[in-house]
Amino acid sequence: MRDAFQIWVDAVCEQVRFQPDRKGIARELRVHYEDHVRDLLRLGRDPALAEERALEAMGNAQEVGRALDNVHKPWLGWLWEASRALALALTVLALVTLLWTAGLDSLVERTIAELTWEEPPAPAARVELEHGTLYAAPGDVTQEPGGRTRAEIRLWLQMRDPLGTDPYYGIKNWFFTYRDEHGELSVQETDPLTRTAAASRYWRNTGVTRTGWTRHSQTVELVLDGPPRWAEVSYPLSGQDWALRVEWEAES
């Protein structure tokens, strides 16, 4: 009777003009048929007789097929297929537009930064922030004419949330507060009239920044009056009381 049922299903589906729906219709008819067979078996019917009675109850194949064809009209089916294709095309267009406006170069740079990430050194100071972990370690030290010293602080930020694609997320921004044994390191100020920079101890970003999807790194440059011993990085506006201390090895 299984073969007879398949013949019946094929006859039903031949009446349905919208062919993409035929597979789904056949699946639904089989589920209905097998449910009916199980019900008859629970009533104690012989398996062969249960299949025969269940098939008879399904009705005339041509009549069932014509009724289903009225529901699955070809023009409705093709309209549905066209709407799906249009939705897919609009989705692709939206993604292309997003990539274009966001900047393909930026997406590539973020991916490269993620793939070429270098772990912070083991001795690096670290602090657990709300959305990630911040590391700090001393970098290169160079002597400048006039007795001033440039000392680098290297920073790494590992975000726990991949949606936080920017280091500003969770720690407000990269503009932390820096201090050494002499006190706060103030940003160098420029006289608006003369456009000259006042002589002061200051820090600045060097431009060495790598921004990935969840991993970011930056180098900050301190300009000091003498050789560095230690410096602390903090961010008072974060609402958390923390400071990362970096120490340079003393010259022998």
Cβ atoms of 125 and 246 closer than 8 Å: yes
Q: Sheet harboring 183-184: ordered strands across? A: 183-184, 177-180, 230-234, 243-247
Q: Report pLDDT digits (tens) over 95-149.
A: 766 666 556 667 777 788 888 888 999 899 999 887 789 999 999 999 887 778 8
User: Strand (E) positions, 26-171?
Assistant: 125-128, 132-143, 149-159
Residues 247, 229 contacting (CB under 8 angstroms) = yes
Q: How confident is the model at residue 175 (pLDDT cuts 50, 70, 90)?
A: low
* Six token digits for residue 37: 């067979």
Distances (CA, A) of 152 to 121, 142, 172: 15, 9, 22
Q: Give DSSP secondary structure letters for 153-198.
A: EEEEEEES-TT--STTTTTS-S--EEEETTEE-PPPPB-TTT--B-
pLDDT digits (tens, 9 = 90+) for 179-202: 888 888 876 555 555 555 444 567
